[in-house]
Copies of this chain bind each other. A is one copy, B any other.
């Protein structure tokens, strides 16, 4: 009986997810044709509506917080879940900021006139239906909606069950704002989060969903990537390195390393390993270990006085005030270590030597390479995109910080006057 019931519930969840995806597809046909002015008007209307409904949203958030507290959730997670009047202001401002960004849809990427007179153009078009799977923070619900709408896509949002009330309240406000402007409310839909299977049904809704972007811990991301039949974009895992080259200015190296490690240890662009060139190890190791310890960092490595390191440390994304330290023979060894253990996110070199900077940039296999700069700069806002939907660590479609153009596909449009192709 229990098994039967579970299967039945599973099948209900599947049908609910597929029905939502079909409604999203219908809505996406309209969204793709909205003008930039219409989309911007909708983003401002949604921002206004969020401010007006702040009390309702906060009441829903209080329910989630109460349930999380009862379940003994850690304070740091409660803080990620918590909304305040000021955070809602920030979320609404985010929507207005997206309204101010350039619309990627319709951009002509390339084109030419063929010898037979055919005029061909490759235009950016929306992807269609974009699925997002994410954890606690309710602000992602609104951010994802805003970026999806501006790029002409319908969003299927699968937030965490711990934020279910908050997300439901937010999405209700957004949908009402769209309806008020005659835009299909199904531009944004929240998928059921009580049952984990909704994630599986979303990532296997091939043909109904055009892409799924997971945002969250390494476990979530690898599960999504493993089980998905819908195309996915892997985001976020960052085992980032700082390599202190033999020609490094050690004062600069110290500043870059401390910033990369300690600015926000829990984010994906934080440094997790420092590689020190053997040629400068005698002075660099004491100086950098002292600076790291002074900043409260625990150092793992195979030098005396460090917490003994194993291969696990080289592959680890600590996301805490821990770092692995290794002395490497030369640039070749640094590149080899990084290409073996890195996750292809961000790798930094500190050097005054031009040839070393060029060789490291060319040979390290990563979304971003920093020469004499902190790994913390790999970020959509920092790169000047004005927004970020995640940082891709895969090579297909998008690599590095993703913003509006990364939420588009392309279409070739060919105009002629009756051309036929010779046999």
A362 to B124, CA, bound (A): 11
Q: 1/0 contact trace for A351-371 toward B, CB 8 Å?
A: 000000100011101111111
Given contacts A373-B418, A383-B412, 13 further A-B contacts (CB under 8 A): A29-B339, A114-B382, A128-B395, A206-B226, A252-B417, A263-B420, A263-B421, A264-B423, A357-B415, A361-B413, A373-B415, A376-B421, A397-B397
Tell me whether A120 is interfacial, beta carbon within 8 Å.
yes
Which chain B residues border A372 with CB–CB below 8 Å? 415-419
Tell me whether A410 is interfacial, beta carbon within 8 Å.
yes
**A234 nearest in chain B by CB position:** B231
Tell me whether A411 is interfacial, beta carbon within 8 Å.
yes
Which chain B residues border A400 with CB–CB below 8 Å? 122, 410-412
Within 8 A of B (CB), among A99-125: 112, 114, 118, 120, 122
**A359 nearest in chain B by CB position:** B33
- CB contact under 8 A between A396 and B211, given known A33-B363, A382-B114: yes
Which 5 pairs between the two chains have the least Cβ-Cβ distance? A373-B416, A259-B420, A395-B409, A376-B421, A397-B397
CB pairs A–B below 8 angstroms (17 shown): A32-B363, A114-B383, A114-B384, A120-B383, A127-B396, A231-B231, A231-B394, A231-B396, A252-B418, A255-B418, A263-B420, A367-B412, A369-B411, A371-B413, A372-B416, A374-B420, A400-B410
- CB contact under 8 A between A377 and B415, given known A384-B114, A399-B409: no
A255, A399, A418: residue with the most chain B Cβ atoms closer than 10 Å: A418
Which chain B residues border A383 with CB–CB below 8 Å? 114, 120, 412
A233 to B382, CA, bound (A): 31
**A357 nearest in chain B by CB position:** B415
A: number of interface residues (CB 8 Å): 67
A367 to B125, CA, bound (A): 10
Tell me whether A249 is interfacial, beta carbon within 8 Å.
yes
Interface majority SS (helix, strand, loop, mixed), chain A: mixed
Contact of A29 among B363, B367, B377 (CB under 8 A): B363
CB distance from A141 to the nearest CB of B (A): 23
A308 to B112, CA, bound (A): 42
Contact of A210 among B226, B259, B377, B396 (CB under 8 A): B396
Which chain B residues border A362 with CB–CB below 8 Å? 32-33
Tell me whether A414 is interfacial, beta carbon within 8 Å.
yes
Tell me whether A378 is interfacial, beta carbon within 8 Å.
yes
Contact of A395 among B211, B225, B357, B377 (CB under 8 A): B211
CB distance from A295 to the nearest CB of B (A): 12
Tell me whether A174 is interfacial, beta carbon within 8 Å.
no
Q: 1/0 contact trace for A335-359 toward B, CB 8 Å?
A: 0000100000000000000000100
A211 to B362, CA, bound (A): 21
Q: 1/0 contact trace for A394-406 toward B, CB 8 Å?
A: 1111011000000
CB distance from A34 to the nearest CB of B (A): 11
A256 to B371, CA, bound (A): 55
Tell me whether A229 is interfacial, beta carbon within 8 Å.
yes
**A365 nearest in chain B by CB position:** B128
Q: 1/0 contact trace for A217-253 toward B, CB 8 Å?
A: 0000000011001010100000000000000010010
Contact of A377 among B118, B264, B423 (CB under 8 A): B118
Contact of A419 among B210, B211, B377 (CB under 8 A): B377
Which chain B residues border A118 with CB–CB below 8 Å? 373, 377
**A121 nearest in chain B by CB position:** B361
A397 to B233, CA, bound (A): 10
Contact of A384 among B112, B339, B363, B395 (CB under 8 A): B112
